[in-house]
Amino acid sequence: MSSDASPAPAKTPVTLRQVAASAGVSVATASKALNGQGRMTAETRERIRETAQRLGFRPNSLAQSLLRRRSFTVGLLTNDTYGRFSLPLMAGVSDALVDAGVSVFLCNVEDDMRLAQLHVEAMLDKRVDGIIATGKRIDRHLPVDLANLRIPVIYAFTQPDPDAVGFESDDAGGARLAVEHFCRLGRKRIAHVTGPASFAVVHERARAYREVLAEHGLPVAEPLLGAWSEAWGHEAVAKLFDGKAGGAGAPDAVFCGNDQIARGVIDALRERGIGVPDDVGVIGFDNWEIVAEATRPPLTSVDMNLSALGREAGLALLSLVGGQPAAPGIRKLPCRLVVRQSCGRPPGG
């Protein structure tokens, strides 16, 4: 017999979610049963334990340390009324916590300081294991002080308190992805139409836009700043193509600060008989799919990876609740470019 037999492939660890599905119960119920907690019949508890043993489930020590802290809930606090940013982020948080048997509940504080304080007090009364704070922009605090709570707090897509742990998308890196993509496609006159000067991300993205054009030896036009709206995108096209802005020559590409601006730009170009992407390529930012996929042609856009951001925030909160220290500061996560049909093909492509 040969002694060179290949080692058996390593088994993928069984998750709590798989145990719950096999036992026909929720993840939270499975978690409580395996930790000797919660109200359920003895038959249900024994069935779950037998299922876990049969599948070879081994709980990880971090999840165990969290579960011993008991409430199995985490609060997500936001002022993002429409859920544009908070809902994909919450999906990522839930994905990170589900295998630890932890549920997430969302509280919308709008921009009301009194409402925010009421929600925080309610979370503390419910003995949540921790709070994740998120918002509509990275340069504004939520209207409530979370600095001195007795439970861990993680900030994601909102301005953190000093000495706290925060997560945000790399906006400059996202802008680089967009402008470098245009450069690879052979575009030479790239304009930038973006949002109000009061937003920090506007300046981060504009700086990256200028840097990439300078690196490629291309002319740098002054970014056009306005509202985060389709109407502003429409108006900006008039400024660019009527010769009132944008330097010599009409642009052959427009990098937009969000998808709504980009849709306004595309609509205005169509009204002028300018083809997208044949004459002018357009890229948006946010990858708001309901907008990007409905645009004609479908819009190439920078995705801020909010679900991944939420997942990292959730894992960080698990670590803090489990007693593991985390260095304060902001962690920037990379964006990705979702290529659709609004940019065109490279020369000869």
3-state secondary structure at position 78: strand
The total number of residues written for the chain in this structure: 349
User: Does the domain made of 71-169+306-333 have the CATH classification 3.40.50.2300?
Assistant: yes
Radius of gyration of the chain (CA): 25
Q: What count of other Cβ atoms lies within 10 Å of the Cβ of residue 14?
A: 16
Q: How many CB atoms lie within 10 A of CB 312?
A: 19
Q: Where in the sequence of the chain do the CATH 3.40.50.2300 domains occur? A: 71-169+306-333, 171-305
171-305: CATH, from 3.40.50.300, 3.40.50.720, 3.20.20.70, 3.40.50.2300? 3.40.50.2300
Q: Which pLDDT value is given to residue 8?
A: 47
Alpha helix segments (H runs only) across the chain: 16-23, 27-34, 42-55, 61-67, 86-97, 113-125, 171-184, 200-215, 230-241, 259-271, 289-292, 306-321
CA–CA distance, 256 with 253 (Å, rounded to integer): 10
Q: What is the pLDDT along the chain (349 residues), one digit of tens a residue?
A: 444 444 445 567 888 889 999 999 988 888 888 877 777 888 998 999 899 889 888 766 555 555 555 577 899 999 998 888 999 999 999 999 987 888 898 999 988 999 999 999 999 988 899 999 999 999 999 999 999 898 999 999 999 998 999 999 999 999 999 999 999 999 999 999 999 999 999 999 999 999 999 999 999 999 999 999 999 999 999 999 986 443 358 999 999 999 999 999 999 999 999 999 999 999 999 999 999 999 999 999 999 999 999 999 999 999 998 889 899 999 999 999 999 999 987 776 5
The pLDDT assigned to 81 comes to: 87
The encoded tokens of residue 32 equal 């409580």
Measured distance CA(286)–CA(338) in Å, rounded:
10
